[in-house]
Amino acid sequence: MNRHNFLGHLALAITLIFLAAFAGQIRRWQNQPRPVYVSRTETERESLTPKRDGAEVLVRFRPGTTMERMRNISLSLNDRIEDRIESVNGLVVIEDEDGLDAEQVAAEYRGMRDLVDYAEPNYKITLEPEFEESGYGNDDRAPAELDRDVPSKWPNDPQFTDQWSLENTGQRGGKFKADINALVAWDKTKGSEKVVVAVLDSGVDYTHPDLRENIWFRPANIDEYVDDQLGTVNDLRGFSAVGDLSDPMDDNGHGTHCAGIIGAEGDNGMGIAGINWKVQIMPLKFIGAGGSGTTKDAIEAINYVIDRKRAGVPVRIISASWGSTQKSKALEDAIREAGEAGILFIAASGNASANADKSPHYPASYELPNIISVAALNRKDELASFSNYGAKRVHIAAPGVDILSTWLGGAFEEHSGTSMATPEVSGVAALVLAVNPDLSVKELRDRLLKSVDKLDSLNGKVSTGGRINAALAVGAK
């Protein structure tokens, strides 16, 4: 074989070897789990799956078990206590160091019945894409409805005309006055800077021009937050359980949208009007940019709110636009403690088109005296096609389809979900506290649930049978 033929055969052999290796690599890539990218339009209907990396579990030891005893037990199982949840007696976060599955670790602790109340995996919470409603046309108001428009009563925010949940004039195929009666409520109160609402979500874009004046800022007479495991946290604008603990900046958008519904600054000549023109929004971040968080991080944020309330911050409401069918005893205990501290917890009923009485959606379905579960309505006063319902477990309804609110980067967007209905009720709760700041959790909850417009579409679907009415709630005529 001459040298030329030899080099040709050698090149061919190398090429074949390379192609075989490349084909094998392609097969390996194809067998790898594909990443799931979360769109910026996602809102709610979350799913929960056990958090695998780190094998973290939430364990509540029985009363009287000392921290030293807890540590000794965890060390005997080659685990370590990562954190203690101060607001719930005996609740700790334990991290396995054996490489075991989280459910296996939880089972080990559940086996210690004389020492442990419960043990559960630290579940991952993931936001899923929002649901769409269809069938809305252009503005088709009747002449009488057009005559009723009284722009002089409206705030000067240029996009207020698109906020049908506050003033439904029949725009885009809606039903006249299928709204929360905000204009009449505003005759009584437009909110108060003394009311603090915590938005438990993906954080809040506190630099948004329509939100920044209504963002909570830790007052000088309140010390920085101190956590047993985290140490001292510079919580100037709230709290983040992920990333930089002192910075609850939203990098997802969901929390910013919810915050604007509650408290975008009203009558400031820009964007939209929140249900409260003046209020303090406390940003809480437990969901990251990719749209996921964990039960532990949600509890950490609730723990923070309870601590701030006890330190003197007048925070009375937690607005929670997320959830799942997975029940967590640890999360239930944390919400119960928030109620004991005087905090109402308003939660999304879920976007699964399901009967929550048969298929509970948590945290909205916990049967606690400080929880309100919220269903979503469209602009025709109909239960949204995606909304969960339940004559027992879902309490009230509010607008939740095509809701215009604040978004990242100073923008404004429309989104749909029980995620949007929830801050509608939270916003009304804040209006009530602006007028009656001394109401107990029970009194505030009762006031909201009694302040509804009864709707045939909600008969047998929510326990009150009605949509929240802000004017009734604040006592306006």
Whether cis (ω within 30° of 0) applies to the bond prior to 283 is no
Q: Where in the chain is the domain with CATH 3.30.70?
A: 47-121
Q: Is the alpha carbon torsion for 356, 334, 417, 404 positive or negative? A: positive
415 labelled catalytic: no
What is residue 43's predicted lDDT score, i.e. its pLDDT?
Answer: 33
pLDDT in tens, 4-20: 454 455 455 544 444 44
Predicted confidence at residue 152, as pLDDT, reads 67
- Mean of per-residue pLDDT scores for the chain: 87
Catalytically annotated residue among 96, 179, 254, 453: 254
The pLDDT of residue 40 is above 90: no
Looking at the DSSP assignment, which residues form a beta bridge with residue 285? 201, 240
Helix count and strand count (H, E) for the chain: 11, 20
State the pLDDT confidence band at 24, using cuts at 50, 70 and 90.
very low
329 burial type by CB count under 10 A (0-12 exposed, 13-18 middle, 19+ buried): middle
Which of 3.40.50.10860, 3.40.50.200, 3.40.50.1000, 3.60.15.10 is the CATH number of 143-474? 3.40.50.200
Q: Can you give the length of the chain in residues?
A: 477
Share of the chain above pLDDT 70, in %: 83
Report the C-alpha gap between 89 and 68 in whole angstroms.
14
Q: What does the pLDDT look like over 288-318, one tens digit per residue?
A: 999 889 999 999 999 999 999 999 999 999 9
The predicted model gives 325-350 an average pLDDT of: 97
Is the pLDDT reported for residue 327 higher than 50?
A: yes
Residues 58, 63: Cα–Cα separation, whole Å = 16
Catalytic residue among 201, 235, 307, 453: 201
List every span in the chain annotated with CATH 3.40.50.200.
Answer: 143-474
Contact 473, 432 (CB under 8 A): yes
Is residue 235 flagged as an active site residue? no
What string of DSSP letters covers 371-427?
EEEEEEE-TTS-B-TT--BBTTT--EEEE-SSEEEE-GGG-EEEE-SHHHHHHHHHH
pLDDT digits (tens, 9 = 90+) for 105-123: 999 999 999 999 999 999 9
Instruction: Quote the strand ranges of 56-183, DSSP E.
Output: 56-61, 79-84, 91-96, 116-121, 123-126
**Which pLDDT band, with edges at 50, 70 and 90, does 80 fall under?**
very high
- CB-CB contact of 117 with 92 (8 Å): no
Average pLDDT score over residue span 216-240: 92
Q: Give the pLDDT of residue 267.
A: 97
For 15, the token pair is: 């090429």
Q: How far is 191 from 266, CA to CA, in rounded Å?
A: 10
Strand locations in 90-149 (E): 91-96, 116-121, 123-126
Structure tokens, 102 = 């989280």
Residue type, position 456, single letter: D
For the domain covering 47-121, report its CATH number: 3.30.70
Active site residue 419: yes
**Per the residue annotation, which of 87, 419, 426, 451 is the catalytic one?**
419
Compute the distance between CA of residue 468 and CA of residue 465 in angstroms, rounded to an integer.
10
Sheet with 292-294, strands from edge to edge, namely 47-50, 123-126, 292-294
Q: What is the pLDDT of residue 54?
A: 61
267-291 tens-digit pLDDT = 999 999 999 999 999 999 999 999 8
pLDDT at 12: 52
Residue type, 19: L
Q: Which residue is listed with tokens 């409260």? A: 276
- pLDDT for the residue numbered 131: 63
* Statement: residue 48 has pLDDT above 60: no
pLDDT of the residue at 322: 95
Return the number of other C-beta atoms located less than 10 Å from residue 193's C-beta.
Answer: 13
Q: How confident is the model at residue 132 (pLDDT cuts 50, 70, 90)?
A: low
Three-class secondary structure of residue 169 per DSSP: coil
Give the residue-averaged pLDDT of 435-445: 98
Burial class (CB in 10 A: 0-12, 13-18, 19+), 346: buried
Which pLDDT band, with edges at 50, 70 and 90, does 328 fall under? very high
